[in-house]
Amino acid sequence: MRSSPARGTSTVDRRHGIMLRLVGAGVMLTVMADTTATTLAVGVLRYTPAGAGMPLGDLVWLTSAAFIPIAALLATAGRWADLFGRRRVLAVGLVVFVLGGIATVTVDSWSYVLAARAVQGAGAAAMIPASLGLLLGELPESQRRGAIALWSSASGLGCLLMQAGGGWLAATVGWRALFVPDVIIGVVLLIACAALPPGRRTTAKGVPDMLGAWLLAGGIAVIVLAISKAMAWGTDVLWLALAAVALLGGALAQARHHRLPAIDLALWRRPRFVWGWLATWCFGALSFGLLTVQPLYLLHLGYPMLEVAMWLTPTSVAVVVTSYLAGKLLKRVGAYGLIYAGSLLCGGACVLVLTQAGPTVWGLIASVVVGMGVGALAPGTSVATTLAARPHQYASAVGAATMARMVGGAVGVAVVSVVIDHPFMTGPFAGLAGALAMCVAISVLIGAIALTKITRLRTDPGDVMIKVPRRMLLELRMTLATVAAEADALLPVETRTPPMDTPTDRVPRPRTPEPGPLAGTRGHTH
């Protein structure tokens, strides 16, 4: 009779665990599929009458409009998930994301389309930390590593599925159809939320810094706008630069005195976190820049959208496979070892493409190598940023790393669009070649950051790899001293060894006054 309830409880827990994994993986799959859909849509609009009259700098706002809210609201949304319940915030995020997707598919005005994309970005900003918070908060510790690996790898699967099926949707229905699968999956995930546990709430009180979050979002938006309009507006973009500095300064000022700031300043006092953040920022610029360049390059050659998707699929397969293998190699080569290898692969692949006159077997090989490089950079940058924080700052570090990748992606897409529209190289592929050259430069920068950290880590006396063995030796010494004392207590009194002072007893002690003519005097010297 007593075994039945236990068996039932185990079944319910197992069911909840499966649903948590499926919903968490589904969130990351949907977000990355949505990002891939925007890069494909930009390429379709670039070479169809629907967007042929628009400059590329305006078209890429289809991507940037979603990146900016994700980057700015991620930390605040994570705090709301802790305060008001993670399942509740996840459900609200899914509703907002689905409504934004429906608007993207249905509205006519380009301004309304960008506004709908911003709404989707705000929904994604709530979905990402809430789904990860549910996984970490509800699953037992022994199952968290595997769940996080599934949650992370689902992003590569979302990119793969969208690139494989998005070409057919865009070719047969149109560019708006690329966002329909995200809406359908979002509705399914929203229904599945009813089967999830509500999630634990934190006991801490306080409201996140919404003003700081909006100032941060405004600063990022102005920076992207200044880059995308630099060639068209000329020196007038200096006013945008000043506005961006003012907005970001306001966000920093808010962070200095707010209890729950949008920017965790304590993280920025740790040099290792700053290095990891820079590498992650550059990785975002590189990866999303390459996502934008690849379909544009193939469409420029006259390939139909269906064949473009077939050329892009090997890249996504390489990302998924390499990400899994990189997780296995992480302990051997370290985070910055993976970052250095990934930068070499991405940069070398871009150089190989620059030497080709069109899609060849070498171009296909370069596409696979790019996927391998991105697959190595993704876990390397995540670990380098997250583990640079203290344990109580892990959540903030994850949010900051995701923010860095999204901000870098928005800036990278804007820079690539400017270079393509205003090439600095010559030839029939001047703009695309210039964009690939920019990707090579970013790869070199990432490699320099990784190489600098690798050389510094070997001689850094404050590194954790030196501190941990020292602490273990101190604990071992204390344990041996305790064992020796207990063994000595079992011996007869006359055979015991005289007690020795421990290192903690080496503090000078006051000498007892000896009898003599000056025994009774204190504080007087002659």
The Cα angle at residue 143 between residues 405 and 272, in degrees rounded to 5: 35
Residue 423 belongs to a domain: yes
Q: Which of 188, 201, 179, 213 is nearest to 83 (CA)?
A: 201
Residues 6+ apart with CB under 8 A from 21: 135, 147, 150, 151
Query: Which helix (H) or strand (E) element contains residue 365?
Result: helix 361-386
Do 253 and 356 sit in the same domain of this protein?
A: no
Structural domain boundaries enclosing 224 = 209-261
Alpha helical stretches, state H, 394-463: 394-421, 430-457
Q: Is residue 228 part of a domain?
A: yes
163 located within any domain: yes
Question: What is the reported pLDDT for 255?
Answer: 83
Residue ending a domain, among 191, 226, 261, is: 261
Query: Model pTM?
Result: 0.72
Residue 353 CB contacts under 8 Å (≥ 6 apart), including other chains: 297, 363, 366, 436
Q: Establish if 338 belongs to a structural domain.
A: yes
Q: Could you tell me if 254 and 296 lie in one domain?
A: no
Q: Are residues 181 and 232 in the same domain?
A: no
Let me know whether 326 and 227 are in one domain.
Answer: no
pLDDT of residue 81: 77
Residue 172 shares a structural domain with residue 222: no
Q: Are residues 90 and 218 in the same domain?
A: no
Torsion on CA atoms 475, 480, 483, 489, rounded to nearest 10: -120
Give me the average pLDDT of each 10-residue run along the chain (526 residues): 40 68 88 88 80 77 86 76 81 94 92 93 88 74 66 77 82 88 93 78 66 84 81 82 91 83 78 88 90 83 79 84 81 87 92 79 86 88 77 65 83 86 78 88 92 69 46 59 60 54 46 45 43
What is the model's pLDDT at position 11?
40
CB atoms inside a 10 Å sphere around CB 111:
8
Q: Is residue 503 part of a domain?
A: no
Alpha-carbon gap, residue 315 to 290, rounded angstroms: 11
Q: Both 100 and 177 in a single domain?
A: yes
Please tell me the total count of domains within the chain. Answer: 3
- Give a yes or no: residue 485 inside a domain: no
Residue 166 exposure: Cα atoms within 13 Å on the Cβ side? 32
Are 181 and 69 spatial neighbours (Cβ–Cβ below 8 Å)? no
pLDDT at res. 444: 93
Q: Do 382 and 233 lie in a common domain? A: no
| 187 and 251 belong to one structural domain | no
Contact by Cβ (8 Å): 411, 223: yes
Q: Is residue 106 part of a domain?
A: yes
**336-359 burial, b if ≥16 CB within 10 A, otherwise e?**
bbbbbbbbbbbbbbbebbbeeeeb
Task: Give pLDDT tens digits for 310-339.
Answer: 888 888 888 888 887 887 787 788 889 999
Where is the domain boundary, 218, 242, 261?
A: 261
* 339 lies in the same domain as 216: no
Decide if 489 is inside a domain. Answer: no
CATH number, domain of 274, equals 1.20.1250.20
Q: Give yes or no: residues 294 and 436 share one domain.
A: yes
**C-alpha distance from residue 238 to each of 68, 135, 224, 355 (Å):** 21, 45, 13, 37
Decide which of 459, 481, 503 is a domain's last residue: 459
Whether 275 and 230 share a structural domain: no
CA 155 vs CA 30, 31, 148, 201: distances in Å: 8, 7, 12, 27
And the tokens for 452? 């600098």
Q: What's the rounded Cα separation, in Å, for the pair 202 and 180?
A: 36
What pLDDT, on the 0 to 100 scale, is given for residue 517? 40
